[in-house]
């Protein structure tokens, strides 16, 4: 079975690795990835993570501006690909592209479908307070992540796990799931089971503003936001100290300190020790363990406070405001 992998982001790197190793039922025939894009301060053209890994492995990698063109269809027809595996690719495939491989096109998605369809399933699972998630291998068809499910693999979500850490685990899980199911696809037995549309939920693409902290929320919800927004766009706001200048900061690590009502106004620093500090929320308080000033390296709270003194009464705000 000749496999073409359509992938771009880091989630797909373990999938590329297992396909490159090959097996009795399949061989990696082609990697298709997104074109190089400007990145970094110098805005130099750089390959995406999958293309970079493919180059390391010596794998043939093509980077068309779009796969939804007659030229791409003709090229793939000419090489006779049996199956497309899509993972973190970055472009919606039209039906005429999905139907090119003789055995079909399949996607690896980082949720337990039909929950969290869309571009940011890991983030939204954490924001939703889920204690379990997983990966789904499903047949691609018209519609957003709605095709028949071939197989799922489940895993618990650690209460302290960030979106970046969870996605890294799910990427390994997805590679193992694919390796397990490739013989089923090769045998032509991958019809899959229809999803229950009544259980479908959405996980839309993130915006930078999604990371703004609403301190009126319960501490547990703010903590979930901190985990979900790491590594991007990071949970952030403005630290307005009683003494000194306002600073834009991101919170990287935290733990909730209960969800009791009462206490200082939301966003107020009210407990400080040598290792961390607490900020009041709508209910309970958030214990802050790691921070990052804009343009500065990440650091634990103790190191941050050595260069940026924090005291009870300082305020965290979601926007620039004049203190009254």
H helices of 105-194, in order, are 121-127, 163-186
How many Cβ atoms sit within 10 Å of the Cβ of residue 296?
Answer: 14
**For the domain with range 208-317, which CATH number is right: 3.40.50.2300, 3.10.25.10, 3.30.1330.50, 1.10.1740.10?**
3.10.25.10
- Decide: residue 153, CB within 10 A, 0-12 exposed, 13-18 middle, 19+ buried: middle
Ranges of CATH 3.10.25.10 domains, the chain: 208-317
**For each of the chain's 324 residues, which pLDDT tens digit applies?**
999 999 999 999 999 999 999 998 899 999 999 999 887 777 788 999 999 999 999 998 999 999 999 999 999 989 999 999 999 999 999 999 999 999 999 999 999 999 999 999 999 999 999 999 999 999 999 999 999 999 999 999 999 999 999 999 999 999 999 999 999 999 999 999 999 999 999 999 999 999 999 999 999 999 999 999 999 999 999 999 877 789 999 999 999 987 777 789 999 999 999 999 999 999 999 999 999 999 999 999 999 999 999 999 999 998 765 443
Q: What is the spatial distance between Cα 261 and Cα 247, in angstroms, rounded to a whole number?
A: 28
DSSP 173: H
Ranges of CATH 3.40.50.170 domains, the chain: 2-199
- Decide: residue 321, CB within 10 A, 0-12 exposed, 13-18 middle, 19+ buried: exposed
pLDDT recorded at residue 323: 44
DSSP states along 182-248? HHHHHTT----B---GGG--B-PPP-GGGGB--TTSBHHHHHHHHHHTTTTT-EEEEEE-SSS--EE
Please give the model's pTM, rounded to 2 decimal places.
0.94
Domain 2-199 -> CATH class? alpha beta
H helices of the chain, in order, are 13-21, 49-57, 70-79, 95-98, 121-127, 163-186, 219-228, 301-307
- Cβ atoms of 177 and 137 closer than 8 Å: yes
């Amino acid at each position: 079975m000749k496999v073409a992998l359509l992938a771009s982001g880091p989630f797909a790197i373990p999938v590329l690795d297992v396909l490159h190793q090959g097996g009795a039922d399949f061989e990696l025939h082609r990697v298709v990835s997104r074109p190089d894009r400007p990145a970094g301060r110098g805005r130099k053209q750089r390959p995406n993570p999958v293309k970079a890994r493919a180059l390391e492995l010596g794998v043939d990698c093509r980077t068309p501006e779009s796969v939804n063109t007659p030229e791409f269809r003709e090229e793939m027809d000419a090489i006779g690909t049996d199956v497309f595996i899509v993972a973190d690719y970055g472009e919606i495939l039209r039906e005429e592209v999905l139907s090119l491989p003789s055995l079909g096109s399949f996607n690896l998605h980082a949720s337990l479908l039909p929950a969290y369809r869309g571009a940011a399933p890991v983030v939204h699972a954490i924001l939703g307070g889920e204690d379990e998630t997983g990966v789904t291998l499903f047949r691609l068809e018209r519609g957003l992540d709605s095709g028949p499910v071939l197989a799922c693999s489940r895993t618990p979500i650690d209460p302290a796990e960030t979106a970046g850490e969870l996605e890294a685990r799910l990427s390994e899980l997805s590679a193992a799931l694919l390796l397990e199911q490739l013989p089923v696809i090769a045998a032509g037995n991958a019809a899959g089971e229809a999803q229950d549309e009544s259980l479908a939920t959405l996980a839309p693409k993130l915006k930078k503003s999604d990371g703004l902290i609403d301190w009126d929320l319960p501490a547990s919800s703010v903590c979930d936001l901190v985990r979900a927004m790491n590594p991007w766009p990071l949970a952030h706001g403005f630290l307005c100290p009683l003494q000194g200048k306002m600073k834009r900061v991101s919170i990287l690590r935290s733990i909730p300190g209960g969800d009791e009502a009462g206490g200082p106004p939301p966003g107020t620093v009210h407990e400080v020790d040598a290792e961390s500090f607490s900020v009041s929320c709508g209910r309970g308080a958030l214990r802050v363990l790691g921070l990052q000033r804009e343009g500065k390296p990440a650091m634990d709270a103790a190191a941050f406070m050595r260069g940026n003194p924090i005291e009870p009464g300082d305020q965290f705000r979601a926007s620039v405001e004049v203190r009254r």
